[in-house]
C-alpha cells in the first residue's frame, strides 16, 4: 500500500488485517482526522482505547461556526468555549492546516460576540 506501512503499532501486517481503518498507523489516522470537522474528530476518542488521544494530534483543524452548523441550542459563546478547551487539550501539537469558518448568523447577539 504505502512504503513503510507493512506493520502497524501492534506488529500486525496491515495487508493481512482485512482493510480495517484500525490497522493504519497513528500518523495516518491523525492526518485523516485533520480533514474531519473538529466535533466529529473529538468523538472518535470513544471508539477504543487506542483512539483516546489521536484526535489531539490531528494535523489539521476544521472549525466552523455558522447558523446552520451551530444549531438552535448552541450559541457562539458556547462554541468559543469549545474551541478554547480544544486548543488547551491539544497542547503544543503542531498544525499543518487550520480551517476557520464563521458567519451567516441570524441572532444579532451572536454576530456581536463574533465581531468583538
For 33-46, write each residue's pLDDT tens digit: 999 999 899 999 99
pLDDT at position 102, please? 74
pTM above 0.75, yes or no: no
CA 102 – CA 6 distance, rounded (Å): 41
Q: What is the pLDDT of residue 109?
A: 57
In sequence order, the 6+-apart residues with CB closer than 8 A to the CB of 82 are 39
For the segment 64-79, the average pLDDT, to the nearest whole number, is 66
pLDDT band at 27 (very low <50, low <70, confident <90, very high): very high
Q: Which three cell numbers stand for residue 73?
A: 441550542
pLDDT at position 84 over 50: yes
| Residues linked to residue 97 through DSSP beta bridges, in sequence order | 60
pLDDT of residue 20: 84
Share of the chain above pLDDT 90, in %: 38
Amino acid at each position: 500500500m504505502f512504503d513503510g506501512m507493512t506493520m502497524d503499532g501492534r506488529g500486525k501486517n496491515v495487508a493481512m488485517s482485512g482493510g480495517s481503518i484500525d490497522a493504519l498507523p497513528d500518523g495516518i489516522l491523525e492526518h485523516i482526522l485533520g480533514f474531519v470537522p473538529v466535533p466529529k474528530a473529538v468523538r472518535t476518542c470513544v471508539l477504543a482505547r487506542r483512539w483516546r488521544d489521536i484526535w489531539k494530534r490531528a494535523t489539521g483543524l476544521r472549525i466552523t461556526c455558522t447558523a446552520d452548523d451551530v444549531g438552535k441550542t448552541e450559541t457562539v459563546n458556547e462554541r468559543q468555549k469549545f474551541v478554547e478547551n480544544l486548543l488547551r487539550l491539544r497542547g503544543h501539537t503542531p498544525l499543518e492546516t487550520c480551517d476557520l469558518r464563521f458567519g451567516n448568523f441570524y441572532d444579532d447577539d451572536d454576530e456581536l460576540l463574533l465581531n468583538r
